[in-house]
Chains A and B, each alone.
Chain A
Amino acid sequence: MAILEVENIKKSFGKTEVLKDISFSLNKGEVLTIIGSLGSGKTTLLRCLNFLEFAESGTISVRDKLVYNGENHKKLKDAELRENRLHFGLVFQQFNLFPQYTVKKNVTLAPSLLKRNTPEEIEEKANALIKRVGLEEKCDSYPATLSGGQQQRVAIARALALEPDILCFDEPTSALDPELTGEVLKVIRSLKGHDSTMIVVTHEMQFAKEVSDRVIFMADGKIEEEGTPDEVFGNPKSERLKAFLSNSL
């Protein structure tokens, strides 16, 4: 059963069409990786899913419920918008942790503002998540004292705390020194199987190959090719994908 249905998403900035009719679907528990060259619209797609940008047309449905419709999104009330966006989580390239709060507070802030759970439950959940990303001993540290890899792991815990249906990652390791990418990829890998559904934009081809259930290759705002990792990496069909893969190895 598809947990996510994206249909005919279009997005322009001024006269530039950045997303030209994007459609795909995703099953529960699957990991989808999105690859593609610079400026192909990968970030914009994730931002549309998280309502940081508003697609001009197209629809997004989660669990068969329409959460976004480009034609009438302006009519959506703030509260509905917030409710709907909570189906998604986003881990940013630049982490964007809240610098004035400790690791623990970064993770608990949004859930405690949302008040869906008791403070005790939120605290307990946060502790478990922080442990899961391997940062128990950093609970009371401030982000500035952490390495990039550690910060990104906190950002993952923070996103998970709201239990999104679909967690999106926008190049989660590209702001990191090479020796720190491993620890972050390891955490993402470990989420697979916890029935987290994930969309990962990445330039780490090896990682994409090994972790994905499906791969989308984007070029010029379109889905140029789509398939299992074996198909996309082992037997690319389009010339652009072939060129892209030979460049990125």
Chain B
Amino acid sequence: MQEFLTVIDALNEGFFQTFKLFAVTLLGALPLGLIISFGSMSKFKPLSYFTKTVVWVIRGTPLMLQLFIIYYVPGQLSGGASPWSAFEDDRFIASCVAFIINYACYFSEIYRGGIQGVPVGQREAGEVLGMTKTQIFFKVTLLQMVKRVVPPMSNEIITLVKDTSLARIISYQEIIWAGYSFIKGSRGISGIVWPLFFTGLYYLAFNGILTLLFGYIEKKLKHFN
């Protein structure tokens, strides 16, 4: 029993780290993704080509590799003086940077689909009715964009929950790291495997809540197509 409580305590702590990375990534990547999507839709060709290339590179390479690069390459370049210390705080910040960039690129493509998916006729109808550009955006197109964006966005967000475990590769102490530590030995316990598998329940519960939330939002937007 004592062992169980110790493990749960460690897993809760790990999950808190997982959640932190998840929440900060979302807060950063949701707005950054919108900015990137404007870049890739820009009529100024150099900007749109540049943005599209960055998005292609980020989406075309593994997030794990990007984590390595962000954590280790700055140190290599500056001859050993890494901007990141070995402390947990810095591993967290490095993870956030990698995750935000990576997810912003995925989100930008979703936004782009949402924005371009609203028929031009909607904007034109607003114009003919004498609305300003701002009114058209907020009163006509925004909700239609949201409706198009929510389903693919909820898929990405659920993937993000699971992807946070990748940060373990630069020793960020998220929940899988916490579960795994009991195999090697931690808090006076070693050689037990079940805590690692037990972490799955945390992911399931959290994603379950998110799924319900997105289902609720989609239902709210169901009255129109």
**C-alpha gap A94/B122 in the complex (Å):** 10
Expressed in whole angstroms, the Cα–Cα distance for A113 and B136 within the complex equals 10
* Interface hits, A38-54 → B, CB 8 Å: 50-52
Q: Find the A residue at minimum CB distance from B142.
A: A100
Query: Which of B124, B131, B133 contacts A96 (CB under 8 A)?
Result: B124
Chain A residues within 8 Å of B131, by CB: 82, 110, 113
Are B125's CB and A82's CB within 8 A? no
CB pair B140 A50 closer than 8 Å: no
Beta-carbon nearest neighbor of B133 in chain A: A78
Interchain CB contact under 8 A, B124 and A52:
yes
Q: Which B residue's beta carbon lies closest to that of A88? A: B128
Q: When the two chains form the complex, which single residue of B121, B132, B144, B147 contacts A82, counting CB atoms closer than 8 Å?
A: B132
The reply to whether A113 and B139 form a contact with Cβ atoms under 8 Å apart is yes
- B4 CB-CB contact with A under 8 Å: no
Name the B residues within 8 Å of A159 (CB-CB).
128-129
Interface residues of A in 138-186 (CB under 8 A from B): 142-144, 158-159, 162
Q: In the complex, which residue of chain B has the Cβ closest to the Cβ of A47? A: B124
The verdict on A243 contacting chain B, using a C-beta distance below 8 Å, is no
Contact A52 B128 (CB under 8 A): yes
Tell me whether chain B's interface is mostly helix, strand or loop, or mixed. Answer: helix
List the A side residues contacting B122 at CB < 8 Å: 96, 98
Distance from B20 Cβ to chain A, minimum over Cβ atoms (Å): 35
Residues of A within 8 Å of B223, CB to CB, are: 100, 142, 144
> In the complex, which residue of chain B has the Cβ closest to the Cβ of A161?
B129
Interface 0/1 of B204-225, CB less than 8 Å to A: 0000000000000000000111
Q: Mark A183-216, 1 if CB is under 8 A from B, else 0.
A: 0000000000000000000000000000000000
Pick the contact of B224: A52, A78, A92, A143 (CB < 8 A): A143
A100 touches B124 (CB 8 A): no
How far is A195 from B197 in the complex, measured between Cα atoms in Å?
Answer: 77
Distance of A169 from chain B, by nearest CB (Å): 12
Q: A86 in the interface, Cβ–Cβ < 8 Å? A: yes
Q: Which residue of B lies closest to A110 (CB)?
A: B129
Band of interface residues on A: 20 to 34
Residues from chain A with a CB closer than 8 A to the CB of B133 are 78
- Measured CB to CB, the nearest residue on chain A to B118 is A99
**Smallest Cβ distance from A158 to chain B, in angstroms?**
7
- In the complex, which of the residues B128, B143, B225 contacts A50, with contact meaning CB atoms closer than 8 Å? B128
What residues on A are CB-neighbors of B144 within 8 Å?
99-100
Contact B130 A82 (CB under 8 A): yes
- Specify which of A88, A92, A100 is in contact with B125 (CB 8 Å cutoff): A92
Q: How far is the CA of A97 from the CA of B224 in the complex (A)?
A: 11
Given A94-B121, A99-B224, A99-B225, also A52-B143 (CB < 8 A): no
Chain B residues, CB < 8 A from A85: 127-128, 130
User: B127: which A residues are within 8 A, CB to CB?
Assistant: 51-52, 85
Residue of A52, A97, A99, A143 with most chain B CB atoms under a 10 A cut-off: A99
Task: Name the distance in Å between A56's Cβ and chain B's nearest Cβ.
Answer: 20
Min distance, Cβ A14 to any Cβ of chain B, angstroms: 17
A66 at the interface (CB under 8 A from B): no
A89 in the interface, Cβ–Cβ < 8 Å? yes
15 further A-B pairs in the complex, CB-CB below 8 A; given A98-B140, A100-B144, A100-B147: A78-B133, A82-B130, A82-B131, A82-B132, A85-B127, A85-B128, A85-B130, A92-B121, A94-B119, A96-B122, A100-B223, A110-B129, A142-B224, A144-B225, A158-B129
A/B interface sample: 24 pairs, CB < 8 A: A52-B127, A82-B130, A82-B131, A85-B130, A86-B130, A88-B128, A92-B121, A92-B125, A94-B119, A96-B122, A96-B124, A98-B122, A98-B125, A98-B140, A100-B143, A100-B223, A109-B129, A109-B139, A113-B135, A114-B130, A142-B223, A143-B224, A159-B129, A162-B129
- B residues lining the A interface (CB < 8 Å): 119, 121-122, 124-133, 135, 139-140, 143-144, 147, 223-225
Q: Which 4 A-B pairs have the closest CB atoms?
A: A110-B129, A99-B224, A96-B125, A96-B121
Question: Which residues of A are at the interface with B, using a C-beta cutoff of 8 A?
Answer: 50-52, 78, 82-83, 85-86, 88-90, 92, 94, 96-100, 109-110, 113-114, 142-144, 158-159, 162
